[in-house]
Amino acid sequence: MSQLSFFSADLTPPRVEDLGGLLAGHGQISAGPDGARLSILLGQEWRAKALVREFRVRDVSAEVLPAAEALSGGLLDPAEDGTDGGVLLRSERSSALTELARAWTRGAVKSVPPGLSAGAGLLRCWTLAAGRHDDAGFLLGLDRHAPDTYEPLASVCARAGLAGALIGARGGGPALRIVGHRRHERLVELLGTPPPEAPAGAFPLPDH
C-alpha cells in the first residue's frame, strides 16, 4: 500500500471553501439575509450520501430530497435536467457559506474566485459531485450554464499538476478530461480514500 501524501484529502483539515468543488461542477449557491444555501442535483444517491458527510465535517448541515419531491415543492427549477430521477442535495441556509457565495459569484453569475487553488478537499468534493471515468480518462464535470468558468477551472487544475482537455457535450461533457498515468496518480493522491458508498470503479484508484 502506498503512503498517503500530506496533501491528500484524508490528511488535510477540512475547510468550508472546499465545498466550492460543488460549484466547480453544476452546483448552485444563493445568498440571503439569513446566510447562503448550496444545492446540487445529483443523478446517483451515493454521491449525495458522501457529500452530506463532507458538509458535516465542515459543520454545515445538509438534506437530501428526491428530485420529484423537490420539483413539486418548488425547490427545483423545472428546466433542470434529471428532474424525473435523482436527488437534490441542499445545505441549510448558513452564514458559514456567505463567504463562499461571495467568492463564487459576480452579480448573479457564477464565477471562479481569483487565486483559487485546486486543493485536495475541493477536488474531492468536485469529484463526488461530478466526477466519472470514461474510456479515455477521468472527467471532472462542469456547469453547462456557466461556460465562463471552464477555462479558469482548467488553469486551476493545471497548476495543481492535473492539466486536462476541455470537452463539450458531444464528447460527454462539458467536462475537464484528465488523462495519463502521472496525472491519474496525482489525482488519486489528492482525492484520498474512496467513500464507502461509492460503487466499484466510480472513484479513482491507484493503477496496479
The answer as to whether 114 is a domain residue is no
The answer as to whether 181 is a domain residue is no
pLDDT at 34 over 90: yes
* pLDDT for position 3: 44
Percent of the chain at pLDDT above 90? 77
The mean per-residue pLDDT over the stretch 64-93 comes to 70
The answer as to whether 120 is a domain residue is no
* pLDDT for position 108: 84
pLDDT band at 8 (very low <50, low <70, confident <90, very high): low
The answer as to whether 123 is a domain residue is no
Sign of CA dihedral 143, 27, 120, 149: positive
Task: Give Cα 175 distance to the centre of its chain.
Answer: 12
Q: At what angle do helices 120-130 and 45-56 cross, to 10 degrees?
A: 150
Higher pLDDT, 79 or 185: 185
Averaged confidence pLDDT in the chain: 89
| Dist. CA 22–CA 31, nearest whole Å | 16
Residue 54's nearest CA partner among 83, 89, 25, 30 is: 89
Full residue range of the structural domain in which residue 97 is found: 17-102
pLDDT band at 159 (very low <50, low <70, confident <90, very high): very high
pLDDT band at 2 (very low <50, low <70, confident <90, very high): very low
Question: Of the given ranges (26-30, 75-79, 177-181, 193-197), which has the lowest mean pLDDT?
Answer: 75-79
| Dist. CA 19–CA 196, nearest whole Å | 19
State how far the alpha carbon of 63 is from the alpha carbons of 31, 104, 164, in Å: 18, 22, 33
| Dist. CA 64–CA 45, nearest whole Å | 9
Number of structural domains the chain divides into: 1
The answer as to whether 77 is a domain residue is yes
Higher pLDDT, 76 or 17: 17
The answer as to whether 119 is a domain residue is no
> Which pTM was predicted?
0.90
The answer as to whether 113 is a domain residue is no
DSSP the chain: -PPPPTTSTTTSPP-GGGGHHHHHTT-EEEEETTEEEEEEEES-HHHHHHHHHHHHTTT--EEEEEHHHHHHTT-S-TTSTTTTSSEEEEEPPBGGGHHHHHHHEETTEE-PPTT----HHHHHHHHHHHEEE-SSSEEEE--TT-GGGHHHHHHHHHHTT---EEE-GGGT-SEEEE-SHHHHHHHHHHH-SPPTTSPTTSS-----
* pLDDT for position 1: 40
pLDDT at 208 over 60: no
Task: Dump pLDDT digits (tens) for 169-194.
Answer: 998 999 999 999 999 999 999 999 99
Cell of 169: 457535450
* pLDDT for position 83: 44
Task: Dump pLDDT digits (tens) for 125-157.
Answer: 999 999 999 999 999 999 999 999 999 999 999
The answer as to whether 176 is a domain residue is no
